[in-house]
Amino acid sequence: MKQFTGAGVALVTPFTADLAIDYTALRRLVREQIAGGIDFLVVQGTTGESPTLSAKEKQLVLDTVMDENNGKLPIVYGVGGNDTRAVCEAFSHIPSSVDGILSVAPYYNKPIQRGFVAHYKAIADATDLPIIMYNVPGRTGANMTAETTLELAEVKNLVAMKEASGNMEQIMEIIRNKPSDFLLLSGDDAITLPLIACGAEGVISVVANAFPTRFASMVHSALSGDFESSRKEHYELLPITKLFFAEGNPGGVKVALEELRWMQAHMRLPLVPVSDGLNRAIVAETHRLESIVVV
């Protein structure tokens, strides 16, 4: 599944002042990712504010990204939920031209480990597309253990895990024991470099929305074994990475994207704008990073 290695980006959804989707800005965002050296695009993950989009809007966003991308990069589409039957049904509406699916672990109803296994096996049976699983207990309320991930890694079209548990020991256990053709992708921008050093094959990033060239360079340097360069890039990005997530996601990265004049920073409720102090800090750090030439 080499098409899902390297620097992936979880695309934000731009909105106009009246909270309609800004498709012009979305096209600009896709072009910037392609030009910046990003390896694959993820459409309608949580960073894209997917819970607030209607089914029709999600389809239009996917259509717009696919049209602007025009086959240049692999596209992963986010389809997940805590009703297994509904997820399986949703798969029937995904265009065959999509390259893969990102499916978050069931949230809120907090299944036990056998429930995670049964859920992912059921949705794997419902599609021929490759599925990237997504463990993010900070959002879902329940953690998928290393043992559960490794059991599911044996299922043919469960091809990767986006790991955002923050548990390094757990993640290293997966990397140590996983099949060679199963990918471990970082779900935390701040620890992408150390995870790649441990054997992860890439990342699905939020920060890359605003800094695709810089973030892709850091990932590619690390994957090629050039840790001197990747460490430098990692530490240049670390301050703004922390700022982006200080008051939730994607409020922080949208401030930077507005400062770059790629889109406006609007979000749909229940998300609200970041505080004035954080806004000023992100703007200042965005200008600092923009002044540093990517080698």
Active site residues: 134, 162
CB 187 within 8 A of CB 163: yes
Tell me if residue 205 falls in helix, strand or coil: strand
Q: Can you tell me the distance from the alpha carbon of 104 to that of 124, in angstroms, rounded to the nearest whole number?
A: 13
In DSSP notation, 67-84 reads HHHTTSS-EEEE---S-H
Q: Can you tell me the distance from the alpha carbon of 14 to that of 25, in angstroms, rounded to the nearest whole number?
A: 6
SS3 content of the chain, % helix, strand, coil (to 5): 50, 15, 35
Q: Can you tell me the distance from the alpha carbon of 269 to that of 44, in angstroms, rounded to the nearest whole number?
A: 17
Number of Cβ within 10 Å of residue 164's Cβ equals 22
Region class of 37: left (phi > 0), else alpha (psi between -120 and 50), else beta:
left
CB 202 within 8 A of CB 189: no
